[in-house]
A and B are shown apart, each in its own frame.
Chain A
């Protein structure tokens, strides 16, 4: 088939950003979520995302966006060439969705879990054909950041790796394939660093702005760790830190009180209008 159809399951921040990336590169998408309101918001966000990507030159010239369909049932994902699961980082939720996808798709269809840190081999136990499962870790916004971490589990088949690398090349991404471990490479390094940055602020060593400004100006970080936390979503960050802490025992991965407090107050970052920084409607 000339134009592969990509199914994306979960229409949160990541599912929406990946959908933007894929349709922006001319491949049709079926985006599945259980919540109609979430899908409505995702459609609007994808329209904005496509403009954002166009503006920054992140889409191929002369390539009109492909069709985006939204659906409430996993059944609509079944005919896809590849399925990308992008639900929240809760093992129970991922388990339910991955098992459902695996039972619906044709054998030979890559099942891609977009995760920031749950080991692929744990998830491989939940699917019918573990060889077809592979991990990706897209950054937010997926349509602007061209590098993707790809995680090959011990049971991932060669053919699955090849077809996913082919798909990523087709949507203009550069991939680095790493082995399976809690947090892989990027989250294993970044998440404890953000957690520490929050501790530094709690301790009164420096303000939020000064922490980010130092990390930008001295260490070349593009936005600073706390702005990155706002972009990730502090709730997602806490989930990912907990998943890391449970699997590594590293105390630097135990979510700091300041992060937990922000989640309790609904200050989740850019998407909720407030996290470490305050965002106007136009900035979300």
Chain B
């Protein structure tokens, strides 16, 4: 656990997270997705790209996606990814308070 990574980082608001994820997906796929668009169902993402999304979220937002969170469902839309990031950051901030 490295709480200091989190403490000097202002909690990101969801819109900022959504923008950042949208930009990454757009860069990688050359298509700008809607926040609600199912990236896998619409063919923008596949099983190879899924792991890139995990690595990107972990690096960009200093979170760790593990255990039951490692499910394609969490990565199906930009919004679902932003929700996951928000929850993981909140959990990690709560741990850091100890």
- Where the two chains meet, the residues of A that have a C-beta atom closer than 8 Å to any C-beta of B are 48, 51-52, 54-58, 141, 144, 222-223, 231, 282-283
Q: Per a CB cutoff under 8 Å, which of B46, B52, B54, B75 touches A51?
A: B54
- Is A51's CB under 8 angstroms from B51's CB? yes
Q: Per a CB cutoff under 8 Å, which of A57, A222, A223 touches B72?
A: A57
- Is A282's CB under 8 angstroms from B56's CB? yes
Question: Which 3 pairs across A and B sit closest by C-beta, in order of nearness?
Answer: A282-B55, A52-B51, A56-B47
Q: How many residues of B contact A (CB 8 A)?
A: 15
The 28 listed contacts between A and B (C-beta, < 8 Å) are A48-B51, A51-B51, A51-B54, A51-B70, A52-B47, A52-B50, A52-B51, A52-B54, A54-B70, A55-B51, A55-B54, A55-B70, A55-B71, A55-B72, A55-B75, A56-B72, A141-B48, A144-B47, A144-B48, A222-B46, A223-B48, A231-B48, A282-B52, A282-B55, A282-B56, A282-B59, A283-B28, A283-B52
- Where the two chains meet, the residues of B that have a C-beta atom closer than 8 Å to any C-beta of A are 28, 46-48, 50-52, 54-56, 59, 70-72, 75
With A52-B50, A222-B46 already in contact, 4 other A-B pairs whose C-beta atoms are closer than 8 Å: A51-B70, A56-B50, A56-B72, A144-B47
Chain B at the A interface: SS class: helix
A114 to B70, CA, bound (A): 30
A56, A58, A141 — which one has the most chain B CB atoms within 10 A of its CB? Answer: A56
* A57: chain B residues within 8 A (beta carbon): 71-72
Nearest-neighbor residue (CB-CB) of B27 within chain A: A280
Distance in Å: Cβ of A55 to nearest Cβ of chain B: 5
- Is B46's CB under 8 angstroms from A223's CB? yes
A48 to B50, CA, bound (A): 12
Nearest-neighbor residue (CB-CB) of B40 within chain A: A56
* A52: chain B residues within 8 A (beta carbon): 47, 50-51, 54
* B59: chain A residues within 8 A (beta carbon): 282
Distance in Å: Cβ of A260 to nearest Cβ of chain B: 26
* B70: chain A residues within 8 A (beta carbon): 51, 54-55
* A141: chain B residues within 8 A (beta carbon): 48
* B72: chain A residues within 8 A (beta carbon): 55-57
Nearest-neighbor residue (CB-CB) of A55 within chain B: B70
Distance in Å: Cβ of A213 to nearest Cβ of chain B: 10
* B55: chain A residues within 8 A (beta carbon): 282
* B52: chain A residues within 8 A (beta carbon): 282-283
A283 to B48, CA, bound (A): 8
